[in-house]
Amino acid sequence: MSSPSSPGHADLTTKRLVLRPWTLSEATAVLDGGRSAQWADDFPAEGDRVIASLFEQHPAWLGPFGHRLIIERESGLVVGSIGLFWPPGEGVLEIGYGIVASRRAQGYATEATRALAEFALTAPEVHTVSATVELSNPASVRVLEKAGFHRWTTEEETARFRITSADLDLR
C-alpha cells in the first residue's frame, strides 16, 4: 500500500485499487438514484445507500478516517465502499466494507480492508481496528482472516475480529 502524501483526504492506493473519500455530491447521487459513468453497473449496493444516508448525521465519516469508495484501478470504476466508523471508542475503531456482486471473489475486499486498517492504525488515538461479521457470511469471515484480522469473540450468530498496531508492527 502506498501511504497518502498528506494526512487528510488523500487517496490510498493498493496494487489493484484506489480508496478515495466520498464526496457529498456522490452521496447525494446515490440517495437520489442517480447514475455515474464512473460506477460499476451494480453500484451502489444497498449498504452503500445506507452509508450515504448517514453522512449528514455523522459528518466525521467524510473525514480522513471515514468512508471511502473502492475504485478498480484497471477500469476506473467504483466497485464498492469501505469505511471506518469514526470516532474510535477507547482506541478501537470499527471497519465495514462491501464490494458489488460483479466484482466479488477477486480479493478486492481483502485488499481494501487491509489497506484501510493499516491506515487507521496510524491515527494516534487508534490501537485496534475491529469488525463484526455474521457467521452466516463465511466469505466475509475469510476476508477478515486474509486481511490479517484475528477472531476476538464469538457469539451465537456473530464473530468479532480485530487487528492491532502490534500485529502490523506499525509503532
Q: String of b and e for 108-126 (b: at least 16 CB within 10 Å)? A: bbbbbbbbbbbbbbebeeb
Q: Measuring CA to CA, which residue among 156, 87, 83, 169 is closest to residue 125?
A: 87
Confidence of residue 168 (pLDDT cuts 50, 70, 90): confident
Q: In this predicted model, what pLDDT tens digit does every residue of 41-62 receive, in sequence order?
A: 999 999 999 999 999 999 989 9
Long-range contacts of 9-13 (CB under 8 A, 24+ apart): 9/63, 9/64, 10/64, 12/68, 12/115, 12/116, 12/119, 13/73
Domain annotation for the chain: domains and CATH numbers = 12-168 (3.40.630.30)
Confidence of residue 10 (pLDDT cuts 50, 70, 90): confident
**Average pLDDT of span 3-13:** 61
The pLDDT of residue 9 is 60
The pLDDT of residue 3 is 36
Q: In this predicted model, what pLDDT tens digit does every residue of 91-133 receive, in sequence order?
A: 999 999 999 999 999 999 999 999 999 999 999 999 999 999 9
Q: How far apart are the C-alpha atoms of 112 and 68, rounded to whole Å?
A: 10
Q: In this predicted model, what pLDDT tens digit does every residue of 17-31 receive, in sequence order?
A: 999 999 999 999 999
The pLDDT of residue 169 is 67
The pLDDT of residue 75 is 98
Confidence of residue 164 (pLDDT cuts 50, 70, 90): very high
The pLDDT of residue 5 is 35
Confidence of residue 64 (pLDDT cuts 50, 70, 90): confident
Q: In this predicted model, what pLDDT tens digit does every residue of 66-92 receive, in sequence order?
A: 999 999 999 999 999 999 999 999 999
